[in-house]
A = this chain, B = another copy of it.
């Protein structure tokens, strides 16, 4: 048996999330169906983690065991011709038998995009949350730094979370403001890409962080409130869960293989 590991991008707009569900069209279903078409094997793929309905991925990672002799470098193209056009396998490598896309993951990066220009960017409408009205971006940038570190993130977890521990470490969190589509300085504040990198993330964690940061941007909370909200370990203290479409699982990193090739 060979253990193959792949990196996949998908537009989650038309899917019920990553993980197989009895009632729905999911990314996992599509990938397993394409593998079945290619190798005639009923495989169960292991992803770095699930993504919710409407959430996208640029660099989701999954692995599976196969008896196929198809050379690893031929898999991406071969799968892509068998996948719908909103799912694209970008990389494939052979990994040690014990490699596990979830357990072996060292860190994950998510990107959340807020369009703070006056009008929706029609070409990016499925991957940007369009925010109406002025945002204090500088305050948001100060606020986000308070998330970096090791904390109990209960305040930023879905109430439905079943995890035994809510302690996670955020290694980095920052915002990049793209002003290339701004026309008027009065109404257009740019497109804000927020990147967060951590050891792991709780359900809805990035979206609740964003909902809270947007309240900071709107002046409803101050940047320094973040520390108290984390300390409260109480979901009701944080802001709302930002809509799923702005969120992209950007990358998953592993110790095992060199970053530049995967």
- Produce 1/0 per residue, A161-185, CB < 8 A to B: 0000000000000000000000110
Chain B residues whose C-beta falls within 8 Å of the C-beta of A9 in the assembled complex: 119, 121-123
A121 partner residues in chain B, CB cutoff 8 A: 9
Q: List 28 A-B contacts (CB under 8 A).
A: A9-B119, A9-B122, A9-B123, A10-B122, A11-B122, A11-B123, A11-B125, A56-B122, A56-B123, A76-B119, A80-B119, A80-B120, A85-B120, A85-B125, A86-B122, A86-B125, A87-B122, A88-B119, A88-B120, A88-B122, A89-B119, A90-B118, A90-B119, A90-B183, A123-B124, A123-B126, A123-B127, A184-B261
Central interface residue in A10, A120, A127, A184, by most chain B CB within 10 Å: A120
Task: Encode A121-137 as 1/0 by CB contact (under 8 A) with B.
Answer: 11111110000000000
A106 to B186, CA, bound (A): 27
Distance of A15 from chain B, by nearest CB (Å):
12
Number of copies: 2
Q: How far is the CA of A80 from the CA of B121 in the complex (A)?
A: 12
Interface residues of A in 57-101 (CB under 8 A from B): 58, 76, 80, 85-90
- The distance from the CB of A96 to the nearest CB of chain B, in whole angstroms, is 23
Q: How far does the alpha carbon of A90 sit from the alpha carbon of B123 in the complex, in Å?
A: 13
In the complex, what's the smallest C-beta–C-beta distance from A178 to chain B, in angstroms? 11
Residues of B contacting A126 in the complex (Cβ-Cβ under 8 angstroms)? 123
Task: Return chain B residues, CB-CB under 8 Å to A184.
Answer: 261
* A-B CB proximity, top 9 nearest: A9-B122, A88-B122, A90-B119, A88-B120, A11-B122, A88-B119, A123-B127, A85-B125, A86-B122
Chain B nearest CB from A72 CB (Å) reads 15
